[in-house]
Amino acid sequence: MSEREKPGINGRADLAEFKAFLAENGEIDYIDAVFVDMCGTVRGKRFPIAEAEKIFTSGIQMPQSLYFFDVTGVNEDVCGMGFSDGDPDGEGFPISGTIVPVPWAPMPHAQVLMTMDDPDGGPCLLEPRNILARVKDRLKEIGLNPVVACEFEFYVLDSQRDAKGRPQAPVNPATGERETANEVYGITELDGFMALLTNIDEAAEAQGVPASGATAEYAPGQYEINLKHETDVLRACDHAVMLRHLVSAVTRKHGFISSFMAKPFANQTGNGLHVHCSVMDDEGRNIFDDGGDEGTDLLRWAIGGLQKTLPDSMAIFAPNLNSYRRFGPNLFVPVNGAWGYNNRSVAFRVPSGEPAGRRVEHRVSGADANPYLVCAAILAGIHYGIVNKIDPGEPAEGNACEEPDDDMPFFLPSALKRFRNSRVLRDYFGDRYVDVYAETKLLEFEKFQRVISSLEYDWYL
């Protein structure tokens, strides 16, 4: 069997799977072959139905550089890749189980998630999904499999900005008034946007994304949607990326915009991506469960590894300049590596509940982060802690988010330097990916710095 014929991660969708999809869902006019870049943005090509079969028979050619576009969609010749090397293609292949309808499209439409091989064979290790698979394999080598669920916070915003160009909370369709109240878990706030939220649920169901409903969060127009626990971390992150994509698409159809920006409002709470993770052994037993409330030594060691790798991983958990505005004392956002039981002020929370479901809730990441890379960093920390039996210290009680840890890099260039110099993360992510990620995001930061803001004119002109 040649390298191109070997099944990829989760297997490859073939022509028979595509035809079975058409038989179940009806004929389509177009199909999108989509890839996910470093920033978690969905990119790809749209094919008319007459050209769709080639996706499933021979794959498609796409430049490898799409995996290290910056947030503006530009490749700045990172690490000599782009202009310098002729921007070579890789071979893209569809992933089995990811052919889904696109219910918000104006015509019969489908999409399929793609993975990429290097031209010389083997998975492209510039692809975030393949980086996660690499780290997952490290756990598999010691007989462990993660079970993961992601939670996203996001804002629904007015499609028009205010007179100063700032985002605005939306006008509630039920009241005709702009949202102003912070009504966490409020039902009335859900009522006014029920048509939108219902369409998000319907789109998620149509695409097989296991979303479990929405709650109103801590700011006007802010919501949270949870995904259910999945035994395949790759599929869990596929669903996380696609949830963010479909929320944005459906929200636009309702005349609003959605924002997963980490901190869109200076005086309101930010948007987080919380990841719940437990770990099963080869027998399907939760290695964190000791039958009681405290959990096993393996749970503690996993948390110890997450603590040790947290400063080095901040560039993944907080990938943009704006990401660091989300962190501050007394915001229920971690500012240190504290852990604890049933305590939302810590970085690593052990939720209460049945012992069989014992898990860690990782509360550091912003909703702007790439789910594949976030989970790769989390699994690296868990593996590192278990293998090295790292003790996390005593669990925190009360408010653990008052005092920031001086060792935590709360500025993007500092976080990128820490990431680039991390011996541990180079071991898990690979030298090439660490260098490409760090250079891409540093060049993005430098591009941002070349723009003079209106505040600079207000202060210094």
- Structural domain boundaries in the chain: 3-124, 136-429
Element (H, E) at 137: helix 128-141
User: Which residues have CB under 8 Å from 166's CB, separation 6+?
Assistant: none
Question: What is the C-alpha radius of gyration for the chain, rounded to an integer number of angstroms?
Answer: 22
**CB-neighbour burial class of residue 384 (10 A; exposed 0-12, middle 13-18, buried 19+):** buried
Averaged over 288-304, what is the pLDDT? 96
pLDDT tens for 335-376 read 999 999 999 999 999 999 999 999 999 999 999 999 999 999
Closest Cα partner for 110 from 49, 160, 68? Answer: 49
166 CB burial (10 A radius; 0-12, 13-18, 19+): exposed
Using 50, 70 and 90 to split pLDDT, how confident is the model at 118?
confident
Q: How confident is the model at residue 189 (pLDDT cuts 50, 70, 90)?
A: low
Q: Give the pLDDT of residue 182.
A: 64
Triad 304, 309, 310: Cα angle to 5°: 95
CATH architecture designation of domain 3-124 = Roll (3.10)
Decide whether 3-124 matches 136-429 in CATH topology.
Answer: no
User: Quick check: pTM over 0.85?
Assistant: yes
- Looking at CATH, the fold of the domain delimited by 136-429 is given as Creatine Kinase; Chain A, domain 2 (3.30.590)
Exposure letters 425-439 (e unless 16+ CB within 10 A, then b):
bbebbbeebbbbbbb
**Per residue, what are the HEC states of 382-421?**
HHHHHHHCCCCCCCCCCCCCCCCCCCCCCCHHHHHHHHHC
What integer pLDDT is reported at residue 181 of this predicted model?
A: 66
Model confidence over 57-101: pLDDT tens digits? Answer: 999 999 999 999 999 999 999 999 989 999 999 999 999 999 999
Angle at 349 between CA 413 and CA 141, to 5 degrees: 80
